[in-house]
Chain A
Amino acid sequence: DGGITQSPKYLFRKEGQNVTLSCEQNLNHDAMYWYRQDPGQGLRLIYYSQIVNDFQKGDIAEGYSVSREKKESFPLTVTSAQKNPTAFYLCASTNLAGTGELFFGEGSRLTVL
């Protein structure tokens, strides 16, 4: 089945620790995105990548880092510099030659203890 796989689904972290969230897609999509979702605030863009080895900051990139070494993979690292990391993180992808529809994974919920 084609789709986007995010892991882990739930993650607990102590303050001061970096954590990496995985996002893999087998849709052969060019572009990948990371969004953060907080209650009552919708989805906010963290980083996005349109091509391998290139990525751009979104609206709330501070305290996060990404890499795009393979077309299928776009991991997100939540660093200790992120002041309020507890949130639901969503990865998405799309075909840049398509309609603009973003396909989302099922999300990773990060809780900082």
Chain B
Amino acid sequence: QQQVKQSPQSLIVQKGGIPIINCAYENTAFDYFPWYQQFPGKGPALLIAIRPDVSEKKEGRFTISFNKSAKQFSLHIMDSQPGDSATYFCAASGMDSSYKLIFGSGTRLLVRP
């Protein structure tokens, strides 16, 4: 019940394409859903996050879509660029005060020039 399932494992798109990464969760107590971006040899960095009171959040070229009834959320990257090539992780945390995140398994994205 604590798992966050992420797909696909890897993704290749052409520059300008719109990669979509999907995540699903079971625990209805989760109330915070961030996406992290990680470049090789570096720590992850927060990209965008959403809470269940909204169905969509957009920041620049990055959009989270959230479906509370289906317990799914996804990341869309508009007009993708080669610099977006990285590993993306979805995550979730619950309503307790610890902010400990449960991470998905990651998606390795390659954007071809």
Seen from chain A, the residues whose Cβ lies within 8 Å of a Cβ on chain B are: 4, 31, 33, 35, 40-45, 48, 50, 56, 58-59, 90, 92, 94, 96, 99-107
Residue of B nearest to A6 (CB): B43
**Cα distance A45–B100 in the bound complex, in angstroms:** 8
Residue of A nearest to B46 (CB): A101
A102→B46 contact, CB < 8 A: yes
Minimal beta-carbon separation of A68 from chain B (angstroms): 14
B105→A40 contact, CB < 8 A: yes
Seen from chain B, the residues whose Cβ lies within 8 Å of a Cβ on chain A are: 2, 6, 9, 32, 34, 41-46, 49, 89, 93, 97-106
B89→A100 contact, CB < 8 A: no
Most buried by B among A4, A31, A100: A100
Q: Would A104 and B97 be within 8 Å (CB), given that A40-B105, A40-B106 are in contact?
A: no
- List residues of chain A with CB within 8 A of the CB of B99: 31, 94, 96, 100, 102
| Complex A-B: 5 CB contacts under 8 Å | A58-B100, A100-B34, A101-B34, A101-B46, A104-B43
**Cα distance A99–B101 in the bound complex, in angstroms:** 13
**Cα distance A55–B105 in the bound complex, in angstroms:** 25
Q: Would A96 and B104 be within 8 Å (CB), given that A43-B44, A101-B46 are in contact?
A: no
Task: State the majority secondary structure of interface residues on B.
Answer: loop
Q: Would A104 and B98 be within 8 Å (CB), given that A42-B89, A43-B89 are in contact?
A: no
A41→B105 contact, CB < 8 A: yes
Residue of B nearest to A3 (CB): B43
Q: Would A104 and B106 be within 8 Å (CB), given that A45-B100, A58-B100, A99-B49 are in contact?
A: no
* Candidates B2, B9, B41, B49; contact of A100 at CB < 8 Å: B49
B49→A42 contact, CB < 8 A: no
